[in-house]
Structure 1
Amino acid sequence: DGPKPAKFSNLPYATSQTGLVYDVRMRFHVEAEPSEDDLHPEDPRRIHAIFEAFVNAGLAWREGDSGPTSDYYMGRVDARMVTREEVCLVHTANHWNWVQSLGVMSAEQLKTEEQHEGSRNDSIYLSNSTPYCASLSAGGAIEACRAVMLGKVKNIFAVIRPPGHHAEREDAKGFCFYDNVSIATKVCQKEFGERCRKVFILDWDVHHGNGIQQANYDDPNVLYISLHVHKRGTFYPEHSYRDNRIAYGDHLHCGEGPGLGKNVNIPWSRQGMGDADYIYAFQQVVMPIATEFNPDLVIIAAGFDAAEGDMLGGCKVTPAGYAHMTHMLMSLADGKLAVCLEGGYNLESIARSATAVGRTMMGEPPDRLDNLSPTNSGVDDVKLVLRQQSRFWSCLYPKDLSARLSQLRGEHMPNVVRGWQAKTLFEEYRMTSLFVHREQLAKAFEDQVLATPNYAESRPLLVILHDPPEILASPDPRTGKMELHNTWLTDVVKTYIDDAVKRGFAVIDVNLPKHVSEDDSDPHQHQESDSIESRTKEATQLLTYIWENYIELNDSTHIFLMGTNTGHGAILSFIKSHDDRAQRMITKAISFVEDVPLTSCKSLVGNDMLPSWYWNHSLVFVAGGHNYWESEYARKPKKRFGNVSRSVSTSISDMLAEHRDEVL
Structure 2
Amino acid sequence: MLVVPKSGPQLFYTPLKTGLVYDVRMRYHAKIFTSYFEYIDPHPEDPRRIYRIYKKLAEAGLITDPSLSGTDDLGPLMMKIPIREASDEEILLVHSEEHLKYIASTETMSRDKLLEETETGDSIYVNNDSYLSAKLSCGGSIEACKAVISGQVKNSMAIVRPPGHHAEPDTPGGFCLFSNVAVAAKTMLKLFPDSVRKIVIVDWDIHHGNGTQKAFYNDPRVLYISLHRYENGRFYPGTKAGSHKMCGEEEGEGFNMNIPWRAPGTGDGDYVYAFNKLVIPVISEFDPDFIIVSSGFDAADGDIVGGCHVTPAGYGYMTHMLKGIARGKLSVILEGGYNLDSISKSALAVAKVLLGEPPESTITQHPFLDTIEVVDEVIKTQSKYWTCLKPGNPSRSFDEVFELPEDVNGYKLTNINDPIRSQQANHLFNLYSFINLPIVSNENDKFNPFTVDLPPRLEDLIVASPHIYDAPVVVVTVHDPPDIWANVNSVNGNIEGNSSVVLEHPLIQIIEKIKKEQDDDASEDNKKIGYIDINIPSFTLPVSSNGSLHLNKHSNASYGSYNPNIFAQELLLYVWDNYLSYFNKLTKLIFVGFGDAYQSIVHLYAKRPSQEIKEIVKGTVCFVNRSTLKPLVPVMDESMIDWFYSNSVIFTSCLNPCWTGNASNANGEIKRPRRKFGRVIRADVDGIWEVISERFDEGVDFILDSIEDFEDSSASN
**TM-score over 0.5 for the alignment?**
yes
1:401 and 2:381 correspond = no
1:100 and 2:100 correspond = no
Q: 1:428 to 1:341 in 2, by over 3 A?
A: same
* Equivalence map 1:150-169=2 (5 Å): 150-169=150-169
Q: Distance in 1 between matches of 2:370 and 2:592?
A: 24
Deviation at 1:181, TM superposition (A): 0.5
1:656 and 2:686 correspond = no
1:76 and 2:80 correspond = yes
1:335 and 2:335 correspond = no
Deviation at 1:65, TM superposition (A): 6.8
Deviation at 1:114, TM superposition (A): 8.9
Deviation at 1:406, TM superposition (A): 4.2
Q: 1:123 to 1:639 in 2, by over 3 A?
A: closer
Aligned to 1:33: 33
Which of 268, 273, 276 matches 1:275? 268
8 A Cα contact 1:91 1:169, kept in partner: yes
Aligned to 2:292: 299
8 A Cα contact 2:610 2:637, kept in partner: no
8 A Cα contact 1:307 1:318, kept in partner: yes
Which of 312, 321, 328 matches 1:319? 312
1:410 and 2:413 correspond = yes
Aligned to 1:174: 174
1:493 and 2:524 correspond = no
Deviations 1:240-293 (A, max 9, x none): xxxxxxx22212221122212111111223333222222221111111110000
1:288 and 2:300 correspond = no
Aligned to 1:244: none
Aligned to 2:645: 615
Q: 1:253 to 1:65 in 2, by over 3 A?
A: closer
Q: 1:23 to 1:583 in 2, by over 3 A?
A: farther
Deviations 1:5-51 (A, max 9, x none): xxx84444234322221222212112222524653222222222322
Q: Distance in 2 between matches of 1:211 and 1:362?
A: 30
* Equivalence map 1:61-460=2 (5 Å): 61-64=64-67, 71-113=75-117, 120-239=120-239, 247-368=240-361, 371-397=364-390, 398-402=393-397, 403=400, 406-407=403-404, 408-429=411-432, 430-435=434-439, 437=441, 439-444=450-455, 446-447=458-459, 448-460=461-473
1:540 aligned partner, one-letter code = Q
8 A Cα contact 1:539 1:566, kept in partner: no
Give 5+ residue unaligned stretches, structure 2: 1-7, 405-410, 444-449, 516-526, 554-558, 701-717
8 A Cα contact 2:317 2:359, kept in partner: yes
Deviation at 1:110, TM superposition (A): 1.9
8 A Cα contact 2:590 2:619, kept in partner: yes
Aligned to 2:521: none
Q: 1:376 to 1:534 in 2, by over 3 A?
A: farther
Q: 1:449 to 1:562 in 2, by over 3 A?
A: same
Aligned to 2:477: 464
8 A Cα contact 2:273 2:367, kept in partner: yes
Deviation at 1:404, TM superposition (A): 5.6
Q: Distance in 2 between matches of 1:87 and 1:313?
A: 29
Aligned to 1:243: none
Deviations 1:518-554 (A, max 9, x none): 899977789xxx9xx9754443333333333333453
Question: For 1:542, what is the secondary structure of its paired residue?
Answer: helix
1:643 and 2:679 correspond = yes
Question: For 1:311, what is the secondary structure of its paired residue?
Answer: coil
Deviation at 1:190, TM superposition (A): 1.0
Aligned to 1:557: 587
8 A Cα contact 1:295 1:333, kept in partner: yes
* Equivalence map 1:554-633=2 (5 Å): 554=583, 555-576=585-606, 580-581=610-611, 582-601=613-632, 607=638, 609-630=639-660, 631-632=662-663
Question: For 1:395, what is the secondary structure of its paired residue?
Answer: helix
Question: For 1:358, what is the secondary structure of its paired residue?
Answer: helix
8 A Cα contact 2:475 2:531, kept in partner: yes
Q: 1:104 to 1:12 in 2, by over 3 A?
A: same
8 A Cα contact 1:443 1:516, kept in partner: no
Q: Distance in 1 between matches of 2:365 and 2:552?
A: 33
Deviations 1:299-350 (A, max 9, x none): 1111122222322322232222222211111111101111111122222222
Question: For 2:478, what is the secondary structure of its paired residue?
Answer: strand
Q: Distance in 1 between matches of 2:601 and 2:306?
A: 32
Question: For 1:635, what is the secondary structure of its paired residue?
Answer: coil
Aligned to 2:532: 508
Deviation at 1:458, TM superposition (A): 4.3
Give 5+ residue unaligned stretches, structure 1: 1-7, 240-246
Task: Tell me the number of residue pairs that the alignment of Structure 1 and Structure 2 aligns.
Answer: 639
Q: 1:660 to 1:12 in 2, by over 3 A?
A: same
Please tell me the root mean square deviation across aligned C-alpha atoms, in Å: 3.1
- Structure 1 length-normalised TM: 0.88
2:597 aligned partner, one-letter code = G
Q: Distance in 2 between matches of 1:579 and 1:496?
A: 32
Question: For 1:200, what is the secondary structure of its paired residue?
Answer: strand
Q: Distance in 2 between matches of 1:471 and 1:128?
A: 63
Aligned to 1:42: 45
Q: 1:100 to 1:565 in 2, by over 3 A?
A: same
8 A Cα contact 2:268 2:314, kept in partner: yes
Deviation at 1:205, TM superposition (A): 1.5
Which of 476, 495, 504 matches 2:489? 476
Deviation at 1:605, TM superposition (A): 5.7
Q: Distance in 2 between matches of 1:455 and 1:17?
A: 82
